[in-house]
Structure 1
């Protein structure tokens, strides 16, 4: 009975039942099994890469086939496809497409011929016309048969790698896309240099944050990147330049688009009336250039905004990092992938060292056996032996006294190898040379043992070597930006100045003959403007070419929404009571084009004095009363610092009940706001109060920012949050502390020599760059820092030999003037300087010391001023 039940269960498992000699198949069960098999195959064998080496199976088989073909010369891609088909059970077209995809990434494959263009969408030539070979990087980091695990190919005729021993975060460097059954993967390409530096930081115990870098360049906002996990989003924009008022040039395009698809989207937006253009021309050759000719009356800034809004000049990409681990799909962040890849590299390097150690031990062992065998003339003793067993026993007996010195037991195989030594080699045996060889092997073994005992340092050195050999020319292509913050500032900076006709009440950027609001203030036709009038009314409105906002304007400027440090100081006459009041207020929110009141709103009210202060400055004003007033004191001073900052609707404090003739400025004010903590976000090049990026310190009104550029220039700026800094050119950006010494290493073309100089900032001019290296064409800055005790690794050439030394630059030379050359370095060619010391931390003690020094300087200035008799 039990056997019958088992038979029945077997039939059910096979999804069929017998009925009188015929069978009924359960199709649902068959589909379920087949579908699961198919889904597993697509996920594991086609669409999703393995975490260990970053390859899909077809890519791994292509690399293996190319390695088998490798002789240093180029091979026809058609030939590579044929070789790959020995391992990959699919058609030649799929393999050909995968090879072209790998070749276009310009990382593992050197290409020759027309391989297409990812920027324009042009396809590659036929496989019979193009050629490829493995790159030097691929040969260095991808292959090592000694550490490779092998399996039989699909037909059992060949062996292929299960995973290639890749000693580099290749998966993140190349990126990958794949659609499987029920899931997909989309890992963005990342910057080669940043990946290596990220691995080094991981080995040093630091946290890393990776952002993609696209070969097409452009700008990208990674605010919602989410580490590359599902649910994240990347906004990528083209780089658009204003050629003139009628022409825009698209210089770089978003990732996953082509110039063809970009032009098609622009034409479509024009047809839909979303943007007005005359013509679009593709001038792409060595570099991308799409010329967009604008329609009549179209503002370039408005056109740029429309291109981003309605065309493929901005695209949204949704990453989804999915990889295969132990034959199962897993979702991981790119930061975790980098950590796993870094640890995998350490393990591979360790295995290579262990293999090398084992080989060296074997070489040392056999060299020792050979020396003993020859020097002790053991080979003579075997001449009388009549059997092979006797020969083995004689040699083994001769080696007996030395066996305790060996790291393992001597086997019969070792003895057999001794018998294979030729007489010619025995006769020419040189004991001194043998000792030298063994010493060399022993030195190598000690070096390997040292590396094994210090794997982290060895791995860091390995990554630095990769960076040195292959990092040149692989700088970041895609600019990291924050579109919500930066784009508005960029638009404002590229348009006309804001003008105002105060008397007649007109503002706009087309009033060229009228008064400029401020010489340095620029605006665009998408900016908001805040306008204050003498009658106490104010409003926020959108800028236009010419706009009437009311007569008798006393102040107008570009409005920055949410600026909490912008404080307005005001003295006004209340028309109903005749009382003059003072108030300090902010304008943090508004309804556009609605009028608000600085005064209480009574008829006859008017503003007597007004100032706008970017950092909450509080000045002292002089108040002159009417000569006919009954007041005993007809002239007095008022300090706005005594007044509390309140909301815009507050009526203010009473200044005087008597008629005021005029209010004048007596003394410029200083900020009454508390010091603000500022950070610098290097990813987007802006200052912020949100804790993003590098902490700069506490800033008061008089504080400044110092910026050192890779051009050998420095500049002092204010700390307004609207400032934008080009992080690609910045070497140092810090809070300016006058007592901090700048240390720089630079090359002077005129003297053809390298110098170290240390100097203090002696200039006080703001927003102007000063060059502190010589102005000759090829003079360049190698390194600059504000660290108190900078330590620098200096690499240089002595003949053909490359050397490195470490210098502590604080005591290398004295502090000189900022125009001095400095002290000459004793190296002439191929000098490189790398700062290895950590930045000085910004501490509360440092802030207090700065404040104390500032106070002492102010006291000294006052003493000097009083001695001169100014007061």
Structure 2
């Protein structure tokens, strides 16, 4: 056996490379990616309600000194600074995020003031960043207030050249005020905007009573307040449960009113649409509802919006109930939607958690307390530094001539000042850095007054830092100031979304929305259908396309549901009001229902509740079907007869009598009691008649005592009273039809 050489061994890895299982390598890297997505992209921080990109945009605008009362700067400059300094991602994504902060239809309290085209509620995109300008809005300045006072921690930016705040001080609960949405790996968040005044009142109540119940909290915050307004129709108990668990949904409807046009005419005007619904898409959907006749009572929709929303809905008839019409539109369009809430947020910027309303407000209040403590401590440090300098100034004032002498003649005046007057290094440095012109301001009374004021302020800060109750009182005062600036007394702070009670949208019968009128339905051999006005003679002459002719004609009403029976055993339903008018040749019925090209129409009928129909296939199988079971709800129809092979629908006749008569293609007639047939909504049925060759030609029902009638070849009605020769058991062969029976083997 040959020994293996060293050439057969795998080559050793370079020192810079390591080997590990693929599953572990992929798992670790995917986990890193997932954590990055959750913490740095998708989920907002519960403290300031911002994601990193929004936080960096506001911080960069602050660094550019774009105050709410200052000038505007090009959006391209802002997004460029954000990308270059703090957010190393695409400038398009940064600009899109900044544009959303400026949209008053997306943000309840916009954080950016935009100048130019920043998009609209129709769904149009903002103009390019080189064409628009922006600056900070007043609410964002409240979020940033305290950054210069060590209110929050900073961290190095992506390349270590600058620092950025980990979280903003956030003077108000922005997470709930403006809401948030995002999709991370395995989790998502969707928080609706709320009214800031109500949030402040809830915070004040939680400060006064930390154990505030969920019921009391929801009494102060009854529900979201969307920037586009609308009406919330969710029951109060559902809202309470959603806020208690952090998950739920809110039914939001458009706001509408009935506008009187005089002379009995009216129209509906929609003035507010649900949140995040694009107006142009809503108009398209309403137009589609009209085209597909899903809401027959709606005649037209017009968009008359300018700066405000004004969508006009015209009814087909003035007799229609507006409430009923809107109920159908709520069900069939985005005039009503369910806004799902999932308050999945980062607690302390680290741990994702689905929080209740109380937990989110508690996270904000705890953050505000920490900000207050840090700002107070920062101010105390500044006061201590200033007091130290003031003490030095007072000593210098009391010994001004000697201080000047030391500075003028000593080689090392700083050391001499420290030694002679027992000054600190900072005090000596402050005296040496003093300009000569400042000597005239060096008055003992002024110095002592400033010192005493600082000591008083420092004492108040010490009391604040030592007392939790004082801290919460100070936080309450800050919140009240916020309420004055952005509360309900201001135009921005007024509640826009109202509440109303409404159950589930009731199923309104389509017939109730249609004006009831008589029509004559005509279906041609080539499958073209139309509805003539009025009940015309069924044998009246009607024009058809070349090569086409009449096949079915029947009297109906616009409110009727007309059933078209196909050879494939399926029943298709069309509404009388949806049929094309009789001025032209009509429309192909296959455009209205999904009837296959290979399946021709075999019957046209008008089933009513309480009626029953005899259904049978060409194979001779059949059953009794209730009329209401024949109505289909979709274009694809409803399978009634289960057919096999080449079998087709042969009979679909309304039942009237107690016996069934069926005749086969072999001209054999069989009569048996109707009660031998089962009643069912769908199936193959049972055997009606037995055949050696061929199949079922026709079947009908009749009353045995009245006899069986048919038309002879001459068109005369003939009635056979004595049917004992043909009466037999179901599924038997029967006997030859009597003399004079039609040659086409049908009873009509």
What TM-score does the superposition give when structure 1 sets the normalisation length? 0.50
Q: Using the TM superposition, give the Cα deviation of residue 436 of structure 1 relative to its aligned residue in structure 2, in angstroms.
A: 3.0
Distance 1:340 1:428 in 2: 48
| 2:26 maps to 1:31 | yes
Give 2:207's aligned residue: 203
Deviation at 1:102, TM superposition (A): 0.8
Partner of 1:477: 496
**How far apart are 1:383 and its partner, in Å?**
5.8
Shift of 1:477: 0.6
Q: Which residue of 2 aligns with 1:373?
A: 396
Equivalent residues, number: 460
Report SS of the residue matched to 2:88: coil
Q: Which residue of 2 aligns with 1:254?
A: 274
Q: Match of 1:140?
A: 142
Sort the Cα spacing of 1:396 and 1:141 in 2 relative to 1 into closer, same or farther, 3 A. farther
Structure 1: distance between partners of 2:390 and 2:232: 61
Deviations 1:812-837 (A, max 9, x none): xxxxxxxxxxxxxxxxxxxxxxxxxx
Task: From the CA coordinates, give the structure whose radius of gyration is larger.
Answer: 2
| In the alignment, structure 1 residue 65 sits paired with structure 2 residue 43 | no
Q: Which residue of the partner structure matches residue 217 of structure 1?
A: 229
Find the partner of 2:428 among 408, 415, 431.
415
Counterparts of 1:710-859 in structure 2, within 5 Å, are none
Q: Which residue of 1 aligns with 2:75?
A: 77
The 5 A counterparts of 1:65-464 are 65-71=60-66, 72-86=70-84, 87-104=86-103, 105=107, 106-117=109-120, 119-143=121-145, 144-147=147-150, 148-205=152-209, 206-207=212-213, 208-209=217-218, 210=221, 211-223=223-235, 224-225=238-239, 226-227=242-243, 229=245, 231-244=247-260, 246-276=266-296, 277-296=298-317, 297-325=319-347, 326-377=349-400, 379=403, 382=406, 386=410, 388=412, 391-392=414-415, 394-399=417-422, 411-426=424-439, 429-449=442-462, 452=465, 453=467, 454-464=470-480
Check 1:243–1:24 CA distance in 2 against 1; reply closer, same or farther (3 A cut): same
How much does 1:166 deviate?
Answer: 1.6
Off by >6 Å, runs of 4+ in structure 1:
22-25
Distance change in 2, residues 1:375/1:32 (3 Å)? same
CA contact (8 A) 2:246 2:357 kept: no
What residue in structure 2 maps to residue 778 of structure 1?
none
Given that residues 47 and 180 in structure 1 are in contact (C-alpha distance below 8 angstroms), is that contact kept between their aligned partners in structure 2?
yes
What displacement does 1:480 show? 2.2
| Counterparts in 2 of 1:391 and 1:64: CA distance versus 1, 3 Å | closer
* Rounded Cα–Cα distance in structure 1 between residues aligned with 2:328 and 2:472: 51
Asked if the contact 1:229/1:319 (under 8 Å) is kept, the reply is no
Matched, 1:40 2:52: no
Secondary structure of the equivalent of 2:474? helix
- Post-superposition shift, 1:266? 2.2
Whose strand fraction is larger, Structure 1's or Structure 2's?
Answer: 1
Query: What displacement does 1:448 show?
Result: 4.2
Do the aligned residues in 1 keep the contact of 2:45 with 2:346 (CA within 8 Å)?
A: yes
User: Which structure would you say has the larger RCO, counting Cα contacts within 8 Å and 6 or more residues apart?
Assistant: 2
Pairwise mapping of residues 679-698 of structure 1 onto structure 2 (< 5 A)?
none
Q: Deviation digits for residues 92-126 of structure 1, max 9, x if unmatched? A: 11101100111112432112112222x32232222
Measure the CA separation in 1 of the matches of 2:472 and 2:11. 72
Shift of the alpha carbon at 1:294? Answer: 1.1
Deviations 1:357-389 (A, max 9, x none): 32223222321221122203451573697553x
Structure 1 residues 477, 417: CA separation in 2 closer, same or farther (over 3 Å shift)?
A: same
Alignment of 1:520-535 (within 5 A): none
Looking at structure 2, the residues matched to 396 and 54 of structure 1 have their Cα atoms a distance apart, in angstroms, of 54
2:384 is paired with a residue whose SS is: helix
In 1: Cα distance, 2:407 partner to 2:281 partner: 85
In the alignment, the residues of structure 1 paired with residue 55 and residue 306 of structure 2 have an alpha-carbon distance, to the nearest angstrom, of: 33
SS in 1 for 2:110: coil
| Alignment check: 8 A CA contact 1:250 1:289 kept | yes
* 1:85 match: secondary structure: helix
Q: Which residue of 1 aligns with 2:553?
A: none
Distance 1:383 1:336, change over 3 A: closer
In structure 2, how many angstroms separate the alpha carbons of the residues matched to 1:363 and 1:222? 58
Q: Distance in 1 between matches of 2:361 and 2:450?
A: 41
Instruction: Give unmatched runs, 5+ long, in structure 2.
Output: 1-8, 507-748
Question: Residue 293 and residue 420 in structure 1: after superposition, are their counterparts in 2 closer, same or farther (change >3 A)?
Answer: same
Distance 1:110 1:391 in 2: 52
Maintained 8 Å contact 2:258/2:269: yes
Counterpart position of 2:672: none
Give me the whole-angstrom Cα distance separating, in 1, the residues matched to 2:127 and 2:272.
25
Deviations 1:218-246 (A, max 9, x none): 11134323117554111111112112454
Post-superposition Cα deviations, 1:715-753, rounded to whole Å, max 9, x if no partner, equal: xxxxxxxxxxxxxxxxxxxxxxxxxxxxxxxxxxxxxxx
1:433–1:33 distance in 2 versus 1, CA, 3 Å: closer
Say what the alpha-carbon RMSD is for the aligned residues. Answer: 2.8
**TM-score under structure 2 normalisation?**
0.57
- Give the Å deviation of 1:202: 1.5
Contact residue 233 and residue 501 of structure 2 kept, 8 A = yes
Q: Output one character per residue of 1:500-550: Cα deviation in whole Å (capped at 9) or x when no partner.
A: xxxxxxxxxxxxxxxxxxxxxxxxxxxxxxxxxxxxxxxxxxxxxxxxxxx
1:232–1:391 CA distance, 2 compared to 1 (3 A): closer
Kept in 2, the 8 Å contact 1:371–1:431? The answer is yes
Q: Give unpaired runs (5+ residues) of structure 1.
A: 1-17, 400-409, 489-871
Number of the residue aligned with 1:546? none
Change (3 A) 1:335 1:483: farther
In 2: Cα distance, 1:324 partner to 1:376 partner = 59
The verdict on how the C-alpha distance between 1:233 and 1:53 changes in structure 2, with shifts beyond 3 A counting, is same
- After superposition, the Cα gap between the structure-2 partners of 1:427 and 1:264, relative to the gap in structure 1 and judged at 3 Å, is closer
Instruction: State the shift of 1:426 in Å.
Output: 3.4
1:136, 1:20 → 2: CA distance? 65
Contact 1:220 1:481 in 2 (8 A): yes
1:249 deviates by: 1.1
Where does residue 579 of structure 2 map in the other structure? none
Tell me: CA distance 1:384–1:243, structure 2 relative to 1, closer, same or farther (3 Å). Answer: closer
Offset of 1:446 from its aligned partner?
A: 4.7
> How big is each residue's C-alpha offset from its partner over 1:542-596, in whole Å with a ceiling of 9 and x where there is no partner?
xxxxxxxxxxxxxxxxxxxxxxxxxxxxxxxxxxxxxxxxxxxxxxxxxxxxxxx
- Partner of 2:166, secondary structure, is strand
* SS across alignment from 1:274: coil
Which residue of structure 2 aligns with residue 654 of structure 1? none
Structure 2 CA distance for partners of 1:128 and 1:384, relative to 1, 3 Å: closer
Matches of 1:164 and 1:428, distance apart in 2: 40
Indicate conservation of the 8 Å contact 1:275/1:306, yes or no: yes
Quick one: structure 1 residues 381 and 21, their matched pair in 2 at CA, closer, same or farther if it must change by over 3 Å?
closer
Partner Cα separation in structure 1 for residue 269 and residue 479 of structure 2: 39
